[in-house]
Amino acid sequence: MSAKGPNIPLGEPIRTSGAPVRSIRIYIVGSHSTGKTHLARWISKTYGLPLVTEVARSVLAERELPLEVLRTDIERTADFQAEVFRRQAIAEEQAGDRYVSDRAFDNLAYAASHTISVKKITAGLSPSYVEKLRDPGSVIFFVRPQRELASQDGTREKIDWDELVRIDGMVKLLLEQHDLDYVVIATLSMAERARTARAVLRGYGLSPNA
């Protein structure tokens, strides 16, 4: 199934008699304030997979960058986003071949919105990273924005619905530009999100923990 739906691999399942026999990399992508982290944590806990957490906030804290700087200083913003993407790639590499990642190349959408150095930043989007996203062992869930979730999240001072929609569109463009299959999560209900994820991951041979 495609367009862009679950790219379910054929052949031998990931699990045989309960033992993992193939890599599985799950990516949760989309704009901020869409509930990606909740879904990533649920999948990690339900299937016993390591969780690669968002690195942007830790980089922000380390550099002691106020949010207004990321909106006005395009040079520092470009440097920040490049470091975020670098750290994301390293964290995924360290996680091995079985994990849930609370992001993929999402920060490139933010870079396009707040800096003019996107070309420099996207140099870090190596062919090998894109190929990893295309691999049959990779699953991408694209979580779309919901007005009800557009509330303060403890990091951003306020949530701008128009910005959410703009970033959402940029993430979609990145997915389409690199011809990546993905599963759309367009419901507000966490129960329905979980059911969608469970149905897709069943196709990959994954079973919830007992």
Q: What is the pLDDT of residues 170-210, one digit of tens each?
A: 899 889 988 999 999 999 999 999 999 999 999 999 999 86
Provide the domain count of the chain. Answer: 1
pLDDT tens string 76-100: 777 787 788 888 888 898 999 999 9
Looking up residue 192, the CATH number of its domain turns out to be 3.40.50.300
Asked if the structure places residue 33 within a domain, the reply is yes
The residue ranking higher by pLDDT, 184 or 149, is 184
The residue to which tokens 């969608």 are assigned: 196
Asked if the structure places residue 177 within a domain, the reply is yes
Domain of residue 97: give its range: 24-202
CA distance 78 to 72: 11
pLDDT tens string 22-64: 789 999 999 988 999 999 999 999 999 999 988 777 887 787 7
Asked if the structure places residue 14 within a domain, the reply is no
- Two structure tokens written together for 132: 């990893």
Asked if the structure places residue 13 within a domain, the reply is no
pLDDT on residue 20 = 46
Asked if the structure places residue 3 within a domain, the reply is no
Asked if the structure places residue 66 within a domain, the reply is yes
pTM for this predicted structure: 0.80
Asked if the structure places residue 149 within a domain, the reply is yes
CA distance 160 to 147: 10
13 has pLDDT over 70: no
Q: Tell me the sheet residues that pair with 183.
A: 141
- Two structure tokens written together for 35: 């509930």
101 has pLDDT over 60: yes
Asked if the structure places residue 101 within a domain, the reply is yes
